[in-house]
Amino acid sequence: MRGSDERSGSLFSYVDLEARVRVDHPLRVIRDLANSALDDLSGEFGKLYTEFGRPSIAPEKLLRAMLLQAFYGVRSERHLMERIEFDLLFRWFVGLGVDDAVWDHSTFSKNRDRLLEGEIAAKFLNALLAQPKVKRLLSSDHFSVDGTLIEAWASIKSFRKKDGSDKDEDGPGRNAERSFHKERRSNETHESTTDPEARLYKKGDGQPS
C-alpha cells in the first residue's frame, strides 16, 4: 500500500531530545566530559557576571556550542546558529530544548568574546584535558601530517596595509573597487580586514596546491 504524502503537521508535537540521540553516539561521552569540566569552572563563571541586569547566554551553553563548531568545522557563527536552530543533535549537546529560541549570531559572538578575554575558554580546555578519560588519549609523541590550503572567506580587496597607510585609497561604496597596480603585497605588509588569519598564497607552475 502506498504511503500518504500528507504534509500537514500535527498541532502538538512532543519531542524528547534525549531519546532522539542514539545511545552509542560519540557526543554523549564528550558531553559528559565537558559537563564535568564545566562544573569545575562554576566559580570562575560567577566572577564574570553581576548579580543584576539582563541575563546573558549561559557560559556553559556558549562553550558547548564552541566545541560543536570545532568538531564539525562550522565556518562562522551565523552558520553555527543555523545548525543549532535546525539540528536536534546540536540542540541536545548545547542544552537547548526544542522550543528554546536560538541566539542571534552577533549576540553569540559578543558573549563568546567575553569568555575569550577572560581566559575562561582556555581554562575550560585545560579542565577538559585534565579529565582522566581524556588523559589516557593524550601523548607527547611527535607526528607530522600533510597540509592543504583552504580558501578563506576573504576577498583580495579586503587586504590592506598593516600600518593603515592605504585606508584613504578606497573608492566609494561599501564594496569599493581597489587598484593594486604596481603595489607589492605580502603577508608581512598586508592583512585582511575581514579575516586576519587569511594568508596570501600563489601556486607554483605545475605544482599541486
Domain ranges of the chain: 17-135, 149-200
Please tell me the distance from the alpha carbon of residue 112 to that of residue 59, in angstroms, as a whole number: 8
If residue 30 lies in a helix (H) or strand (E), which one and from where to where? helix 26-40
Q: How confident is the model at residue 170 (pLDDT cuts 50, 70, 90)?
A: low
Residue 144 CB: number of other CB atoms within 10 A?
5
Task: Spell 58-90 as b/e; 16+ CB within 10 A means b.
Answer: ebbbbbbbbbbbeeeebeebeebbebbeeeebb
pLDDT digits (tens, 9 = 90+) for 80-115: 999 999 999 999 999 999 889 999 999 999 888 888
The backbone region for 186, taken as left when phi is positive above 0, alpha when psi lies in -120 to 50, beta otherwise, is beta
pLDDT digits (tens, 9 = 90+) for 43-75: 888 887 777 778 788 889 999 999 999 999 998
Strands (E), the chain: 159-161, 190-192
